[in-house]
Amino acid sequence: MGNRKMSKISNVSQVILAIAVLAAIVLGILGVLYLLASALEPARLWVGITLLGISLILTFFVYKSLVKPSPITVHWSPSGPLNLEELKCPNCSGALKLDDPNKTKVVCQYCGRLVEIVEEPKW
């Protein structure tokens, strides 16, 4: 199960989960008994399979409600010092203002040219 943690559950949810676990255990035991009894009467085979199926489904839902994956966090640190570069218009060499870092196009305030911002590798 790795680094999974139990989540905080309210008292009502705990009671419901306890009932579901008990029901899954009882249905599983009855399913096994019906499967064993199907040697004497083959019609009991389907009842046993059905009871075991319901037991497995209940067990799955209880497991899914109890086990929550731990949150994934990503940390980034540059390998060296960061150097800020000023963006310049290729037409008039004026400084470009980039208000939103998600923008891919900027209009030069000096010559009015539409400049596309492309990050190119440094190697």
Three-state SS string over the chain comes to: CCCCEECCCCHHHHHHHHHHHHHHHHHHHHHHHHHHHCCCCCCHHHHHHHHHHHHHHHHHHHHHHHEECCCCCCCCCCCCCCCCCCCECCCCCCECCCCCCCCCEEECCCCCCEEECCCCCCC
Cα distance between residue 48 and residue 29, in whole Å: 9
pLDDT attached to residue 86: 82
* In a shared domain, residues 19 and 56: yes
Instruction: Report yes or no on 14 lying in a domain.
Output: yes
Instruction: Report yes or no on 74 lying in a domain.
Output: no
* In a shared domain, residues 22 and 57: yes
pLDDT attached to residue 8: 56
* In a shared domain, residues 9 and 62: yes
**Number of domains present in the structure of the chain:** 2
Maximum pairwise Cα distance, the chain? 94
Amino acid (1-letter code) at residue 68 = K
Give the pLDDT of the chain (123 residues) as one tens digit per residue. 444 444 455 777 788 888 999 999 999 999 999 999 998 888 899 999 999 999 999 999 888 888 777 888 888 777 777 677 788 888 898 888 888 877 888 999 899 899 888 877 766
Q: Which domain holds residue 62?
A: 5-68
pLDDT attached to residue 119: 74
